[in-house]
Structure 1
Amino acid sequence: MRSSMIVGLVASITAMLAVIIITMVVVMSPNTGGLKSYEDFVINGVKTDSIREFLRNLTVSPHQAGSARDLDIAKWIKDQWIEHGLSNVKLIPYEVFLSHPDADNPNMFHILDNEGNVTHSSNPHQPPVEDTPPVGQESILSFNAFSANGTVQVSRVVYANYGSLDDFDLLEEMGVDVGGAIVVIRYGKLFRGDKVRFAEERGAVGVILYTDPKDAAPLGPEATYPNTVYAPPGSTQLGSLALQGDLLTPGYPATESAHRIPEEQTDSPGIPVQPVGYEDAQQILSILEGDRAPDEWQGGLDMDYKLGGDLAGHEVRLEVHNVNSREQVYNVVGALIGQEEPDRYVLIGNHYDAWTYGGIDPSSATATLLELARLFGEMYRDGWRPRRTLVFCSWAAEEPGVIGSTEFAEQFSAILKDRAVVYLNVDMVMEGNYSFMASAVPTLYDVIVDTSKLVPNPDRDEVEAGRGTLYDTWVHRFPKNDSLVEGPTSQPLFHSLGTGSDFRAYVFNLGIPCLDLCFASAPDDPGLPLYHSAYETNDLALLMDRDLLYHQATARMWGLLALEFSTRPVLPFSLKQFSDFAKEEFKIFKNKFGAKLLLLGVSTANLDAAIKSLGKNIDDFLERLDAADWNNDLVLRTYNDAMMLMERAFLSPFGLPDRPLLNHVLLAPSTLNGYVWDVFPGLRDLLRTTNVSATDVKEHMAAVTHHFNMSASALSFRFW
């Protein structure tokens, strides 16, 4: 009896221990327990020490696209991804057109007195501000990629504020002619290439771009880097004047077999352009005469800003001697193969090249992407398998023209249009630390909002105020102002996508839903004052995010989104958001251009009906989706493909009017500012033209209507 009791007790204890062990395994193991366990693993598994080491390695020295150091980084990323367990890791080469400054003949401007003597020459370098400058800083020369080469010497200089279309229109209204002048324009508000295009269209012979202290050093020249994040007097923003892929192979990949157009036929400026710091800009602004510039044009220099015109006793000579050449660059790609749908691709990417050290742009995000590859590789080794293939992409040559990502999109366009589910981009972790912000197409709004509610807030002050997640601060500091609802809504604001990063070709040419994540600065604060300068170092990254908590939060957010799209049986697209977006934006469009459409005799009735038809078909589709058999892979594929096709249906084979390399008739980079999109871009472009033809507007209106009808049909599973 006693023996049997002991045996029974031992058996009971053994069973209890087994239950406890099994429970612990289920709870603690990342490869069991379903999606929730993987979410926890992503949130808890991101290591700031790991990101710190990746960031340090990436920012050791400057690495412009095409340089030897740039190639070393590509090879290092490849080795890291192989070590982390990614498969099919490859360097994919492209021979592309790049632009560099000439070290033996650097670009600069000179101010000459009435006897031809040079009284000031701009600094082609950015002066060191640290006792021990980082490696290679003395080799960084100021330039704008794809500026025209040449020397212009004039006695006419005009100040044009930020160089927007409205700024140039105001100059014209005030009687200031920029024809034959060198135009001085401050950075900010819009894409630098658009500033130059507007100046050239009005007859300017050259442009000098500079960063004004009002925008980049609001506390004065003493409170600047390395003590703060603000720009010292010599800080100069490098940057490209063209963002559309390889200029010699428009529309096609820059592979060995590609046809290349002559350099003189490329879509690039025809006048010389040079960036300078505000210390040099003050020298040229101080000799301008003419009327005082409007109050809103006044900058942060201790002087009255004048509009300029003819110079009294001075001339300005601008010299640009860039070297343009074909060079080899390499994308790095690797994958974690999906189990149920290996032929459906979730792309997650960032570029690795930088104008200088890339402390923030892009290395903050490159280091974060490397950490995600490490983390997902660990999950994969532990038994986790994505439903769809997760493709890691480290793009080459983004800075000189979103080149590597565009060439890849062009080379594999048929496959990507058919099989790519989403592209998740992070160009850089932060412009500031005021709030999380997302730019995205409307189909991604809901999944981004839902995911942001899972990520712990890196802002300790916000956590103490009771806002514990990214979402809490985002909706508090950037609430959406809905034109249909009085006052702010309970939804956060989303920014639009433009031409400024690697999502460009995927959304505007391939119709693939895209997003870009970033921590933003406050609305009235300068965003990343040291952007693209010689002082954008590893030290700057740590000055902005000492403990790398914002980097960690970005990795968590980015990783959870990758997890959602690679594992969810039904793709988490927001079709209703898309429908509401189209309706609201068409209302805005009609409010702005309705009078002109009426004058031209162009009716919007058919397009109105097509937009309503899409909304109805979305409602019907969602009802059928709720009732569908989600255990049937063929049924899932049918519904998921229909949602993918809904956006692809907006791609026109003929492109937009006068912009044939952009295919999306609903969304495209704005011709007024390439950093943001226009909705109904072709119609807006036509209606902004003074002498637009009614026939041209009717023709494109019909095309847009057709694409809305195709999009609606994509969700109906029938031809008629």
Structure 2
Amino acid sequence: MKKIYLFCLLLGPMLSFAQSKSIYGYTPQSASAELKWEEQFDGYLKASNLDSWMKRLAGRPHHLGSAYGKANAEFMRDLFKSWGFDAEIETYQVLFPTPKIRVLEMTSPQKFKAKLSEPALKEDATSSQTSEQLPVYNCWSPDGEVTAELVFVNYGVPDDYEQLERLGIDVKGKIVIAKYGGSWRGIKPKVAQEHGAIGCIIYSDPKEDGYFQGDVYPKGPFRSAAGAQRGSVEDMPIYPGDPLTPGYGATPDAKRIDRNEAANLLKIPVLPISYGDAQPLLAALTGPVAPEKWRGALPITYHIGPGPAKVHLKLSFDWKLVPCYNVIAKLKGSEFPDQWVIRGNHHDAWVNGADDPISGMVAVLEEARAVGELVKAGWKSKRTLVYCAWDGEEPSLIGSTEWAEHHAAELQQKAVAYINSDGNGRGFLFAGGSHSLETLVSEIARDVTDPQTGISILERSKSLQLTHAATTKNKKELLAKKNLTIGALGSGSDYTPFIQHLGIPSLNLGFGGESESGDYHSIYDSYDMYKRFKDPKFDYGIALVKAGGRATLRLANADILPFDFKSFHKTVNTYLGEVTTLLETLRESTDVENQLITEKRYVYAADPTEKYIPPTAKSVVPYLNFASLQNAVAGLEKAASQYSDVQAASIKAGTNWTQLNPSLYRAEQKLLSDKGLPRRPWYKHTIYAPGFYTGYGVKTLPGVREAIEQRNWEEAQEQIEIAAKSIQAYTEAINAVSSQVNPAGVSGGK
């Protein structure tokens, strides 16, 4: 009895705190009701569902176009229907090449033929399904047969080629071998091609992805010598999706361009290999010893070449159209059926894909099931909920891109927000997205408990940031901070077409950081691997259901949609400071380098006996006029502050914002540029984009930032003006909403 009494004493203040919680965009009465429904939502959740669904969905290989991929789509469609959703499979016809011939061999100074295979393991039940598995390959590599000397190029990113140039090493006419890491894989052959290479090999070095990190599978979770990483090398920073239908949906009757016209397809053959296959190739290289930062963990001396290792690479593919099965499930809104809250995760994998993507997909399924239970209990969603299980994400975000392009006009009218997840594991909440939704995410993180520590996932995420804080000042600032800072979105998952092409506010949610391993895109990304090393009890799967579910529920029933424009202004102002500092830093470093070159004092700290080409002087960095952008950001600050006051007064007064909410979620579309980004017009967002040479990695204020990095001063000035105009249009949209509400919080609009 004493224990129960003590528990009640402790619980009482907690209940009182819960009842006093506010939710941004909700009146106190609505917030109280919402929190009760969320508590009921949590009560429905069962980790056993995630477990059984993962075992089913990851039971066989299910890549794009596969029989089991279709079976999985049908299985999920039927689940959604059983929970009360109007569910269907929306099918597209898309290009998807699979290998016919794969040969990699060293012809001199000795003979060696790469195995290019991953062995089945008795500890991994699904690893033996060889007849259904896609072999190790890079999707979208062209057909080709080349023989040439080999050159080691580190990660194969632009900076590495600058180092090669300083060493007097030219990759023209050569085959390059690059490590995974440092950038997205598709950037490596892209940059190699730009430098004249005729082939590219990508391998997983054990330093980043193997025994250097810990015990390898099956003893531990890390990549073994035979493990290899499949993956796409489509130039997705140009445009994602089906390469034959750029900008429009790949319906059966869609017009398709010739494959040779597709700007996002490479021209040189590319192949991924294991570090077991890579070691003999790298060991046969001579030439300069690789710089220390380039060296991996193989038991060899890393040389750059070129040669004397000469390799023969031969690849051929079946370039066929296959069906792409998107599962679309809708629950019609009771008050605003034409306002859609969209929740998505992909269901296709390179092989069995228990971690990537099924760990996220099963969380989305459990979320939808719990929503169905809420409806049975009397809950009503004001806005329409749309749950999506995307196909074809792995090759190039195909399912989501084709659906978004196909329904673009309707989505730009109706989509309140898109909430994405992907693979999930143990650890910390990682969130990225539109910064106007930062307060929404912070409040969700405040209200979800971390299953391992018992504190909120907000506090646990802050603790991770504290461990990485560089100074005591940084730590004090983090401790004083109440909100979570979300990241900006680049690419690499299904949010891309929504935010960066259509301007739909988007979020990407997931847990990780304590379940890293080497199963990524291999046959060992399996149920057995996941249960042993990732999230054995699906505790963090349930945490994702709670976080994603709250995002969906709160957007569905908010009185005033929870867009915090002050958070967005603060973030954009930070980006503005970064690009102005970038220009200043570039100017200072260029001046110093040119002076050293002029005075012949440029020091090269390496072996003086090696061939070395002194650098040439660079053009002077001019001063750019940031005034229009600075004025636009200042105007945004004023508008955001005014809106915040109006919104708070409206919440207090209980104002009906029925007519105004659509203007809030469509405001993000004002940040799109009609022309799109230079050399890649599919990407239209002026604030967020994947980098031209980073792939997944984000570039913020991308038009301005990349023009400065490429030293294209005329383009940089043009992009400053374009970004300024988009922010001004966004500001005007916010002001238009504020002007329809009087200071007392009573709507002045119709």
TM-score by length of 2: 0.85
Amino acid of the residue matched to residue 142 of structure 1? Answer: V
Report the Cα offset of residue 539 of structure 1.
0.9
Deviations 1:684-712 (A, max 9, x none): 2322334x352x33333222211111111
Q: What SS does the corresponding residue of 1:228 show, helix, strand or coil?
A: coil
How many residues are matched? 666
Correspondence for 1:540? 529
CA contact (8 A) 2:359 2:423 kept: yes
Report the Cα offset of residue 133 of structure 1.
4.3
Report the Cα offset of residue 444 of structure 1.
1.9
Counterparts of 1:399-414 in structure 2, within 5 Å, are: 399-414=394-409
CA contact (8 A) 1:210 1:277 kept: yes
Is residue 2:570 matched to residue 1:570?
no
Q: What SS does the corresponding residue of 1:360 show, helix, strand or coil?
A: helix
Correspondence for 1:234? 226
Correspondence for 1:8? none
Q: What SS does the corresponding residue of 1:62 show, helix, strand or coil?
A: coil
Report the Cα offset of residue 340 of structure 1.
1.6
Measure the CA separation in 1 of the matches of 2:672 and 2:685: 5
Report the Cα offset of residue 473 of structure 1.
1.3
Counterparts of 1:76-225 in structure 2, within 5 Å, are: 76-87=75-86, 89-102=87-100, 105=101, 107-113=102-108, 119-130=111-122, 133-134=125-126, 135-137=128-130, 139-154=133-148, 156-219=149-212, 223-225=215-217
User: Against the structure 1 CA distance between its residues 563 and 672, is the aligned structure 2 distance closer, same or farther, given a 3 Å change threshold?
Assistant: same
Correspondence for 1:477? 464
Measure the CA separation in 2 of the matches of 1:622 and 1:471: 23
CA contact (8 A) 1:85 1:381 kept: no
Report the Cα offset of residue 456 of structure 1.
1.9
Measure the CA separation in 1 of the matches of 2:548 and 2:418: 11
Correspondence for 1:717? 736
Is residue 2:514 matched to residue 1:516?
no
Measure the CA separation in 2 of the matches of 1:589 and 1:610: 15
User: Against the structure 1 CA distance between its residues 630 and 66, is the aligned structure 2 distance closer, same or farther, given a 3 Å change threshold?
Assistant: farther
Counterpart among 668, 690, 693 of residue 689 in structure 2: 668
CA contact (8 A) 2:401 2:497 kept: yes
Mean CA deviation greater in 161-170 or 406-415: 161-170
Amino acid of the residue matched to residue 580 of structure 2? Answer: K
Amino acid of the residue matched to residue 448 of structure 1? Answer: V
CA contact (8 A) 1:713 1:719 kept: no
Report the Cα offset of residue 454 of structure 1.
1.6
Correspondence for 2:367? 372
Unaligned ranges ≥5, structure 2: 1-18, 20-29, 588-619, 740-750
Unaligned ranges ≥5, structure 1: 1-26
Amino acid of the residue matched to residue 199 of structure 1? Answer: A
Counterpart among 256, 261, 273 of residue 260 in structure 1: 256
Measure the CA separation in 1 of the matches of 2:189 and 2:484: 34
Report the Cα offset of residue 448 of structure 1.
1.2
Amino acid of the residue matched to residue 475 of structure 1? Answer: K
CA contact (8 A) 2:660 2:737 kept: no
Q: What SS does the corresponding residue of 1:379 show, helix, strand or coil?
A: helix
Measure the CA separation in 2 of the matches of 1:628 and 1:483: 41
Measure the CA separation in 2 of the matches of 1:389 and 1:471: 28
Mean CA deviation greater in 640-649 or 76-85: 640-649
Deviations 1:188-232 (A, max 9, x none): 2311111111111111111111111111224578x2112221111
Amino acid of the residue matched to residue 219 of structure 2? Answer: N
User: Against the structure 1 CA distance between its residues 341 and 582, is the aligned structure 2 distance closer, same or farther, given a 3 Å change threshold?
Assistant: same
Mean CA deviation greater in 602-611 or 163-172: 163-172
Correspondence for 2:718? 699
Counterpart among 330, 339, 347 of residue 335 in structure 1: 330
Measure the CA separation in 1 of the matches of 2:373 and 2:575: 44
Amino acid of the residue matched to residue 634 of structure 2? Answer: K
Counterpart among 640, 646, 657 of residue 667 in structure 2: 646
Measure the CA separation in 2 of the matches of 1:168 and 1:439: 31
User: Against the structure 1 CA distance between its residues 336 and 582, is the aligned structure 2 distance closer, same or farther, given a 3 Å change threshold?
Assistant: same
CA contact (8 A) 1:149 1:272 kept: yes
CA contact (8 A) 1:62 1:137 kept: no
Correspondence for 2:63? 64
CA RMSD of aligned residues (A): 2.5
User: Against the structure 1 CA distance between its residues 55 and 133, is the aligned structure 2 distance closer, same or farther, given a 3 Å change threshold?
Assistant: closer
Correspondence for 2:292? 295
Amino acid of the residue matched to residue 714 of structure 1? Answer: A
Is residue 2:282 matched to residue 1:282?
no
Correspondence for 2:637? 615
Correspondence for 2:742? none
Report the Cα offset of residue 630 of structure 1.
7.7
Counterparts of 1:286-365 in structure 2, within 5 Å, are: 286-311=283-308, 314-365=309-360
Measure the CA separation in 1 of the matches of 2:586 and 2:218: 53
Q: What SS does the corresponding residue of 2:356 show, helix, strand or coil?
A: coil
Report the Cα offset of residue 441 of structure 1.
2.2
Deviations 1:320-357 (A, max 9, x none): 11221111112110111111211111000001000010
Counterparts of 1:422-571 in structure 2, within 5 Å, are: 422-430=417-425, 433-459=426-452, 462-463=453-454, 468-479=455-466, 486-487=474-475, 488-489=477-478, 490=481, 491-521=483-513, 527-543=516-532, 544-571=534-561
Q: What SS does the corresponding residue of 2:164 show, helix, strand or coil?
A: helix
Q: What SS does the corresponding residue of 2:196 show, helix, strand or coil?
A: coil
CA contact (8 A) 1:656 1:663 kept: yes
Amino acid of the residue matched to residue 440 of structure 1? Answer: G
User: Against the structure 1 CA distance between its residues 549 and 687, is the aligned structure 2 distance closer, same or farther, given a 3 Å change threshold?
Assistant: same
Measure the CA separation in 2 of the matches of 1:206 and 1:252: 31
Correspondence for 2:33? 34
Measure the CA separation in 1 of the matches of 2:31 and 2:435: 33
Deviations 1:95-138 (A, max 9, x none): 11112112xx3x13101235xxx722112321123256415145
Correspondence for 1:383? 378
User: Against the structure 1 CA distance between its residues 701 and 128, is the aligned structure 2 distance closer, same or farther, given a 3 Å change threshold?
Assistant: same
Measure the CA separation in 1 of the matches of 2:651 and 2:38: 25
Report the Cα offset of residue 641 of structure 1.
2.7
Correspondence for 1:13? none
CA contact (8 A) 2:211 2:223 kept: no
Measure the CA separation in 2 of the matches of 1:486 and 1:703: 34
Q: What SS does the corresponding residue of 1:628 show, helix, strand or coil?
A: helix
Amino acid of the residue matched to residue 551 of structure 2? Answer: L
Correspondence for 1:12? none
Measure the CA separation in 2 of the matches of 1:220 and 1:448: 32
Measure the CA separation in 2 of the matches of 1:36 and 1:84: 22
Amino acid of the residue matched to residue 628 of structure 2? Answer: N
Amino acid of the residue matched to residue 499 of structure 1? Answer: S
Measure the CA separation in 2 of the matches of 1:280 and 1:415: 49
Counterparts of 1:575-586 in structure 2, within 5 Å, are: 575-586=565-576
User: Against the structure 1 CA distance between its residues 606 and 476, is the aligned structure 2 distance closer, same or farther, given a 3 Å change threshold?
Assistant: same
Report the Cα offset of residue 482 of structure 1.
11
Report the Cα offset of residue 34 of structure 1.
1.8
Measure the CA separation in 2 of the matches of 1:251 and 1:72: 29
Measure the CA separation in 1 of the matches of 2:683 and 2:469: 29
Deviations 1:3-33 (A, max 9, x none): xxxxxxxxxxxxxxxxxxxxxxxx9xxx998
Report the Cα offset of residue 493 of structure 1.
4.9
Is residue 2:57 matched to residue 1:46?
no
Amino acid of the residue matched to residue 94 of structure 1? Answer: Y
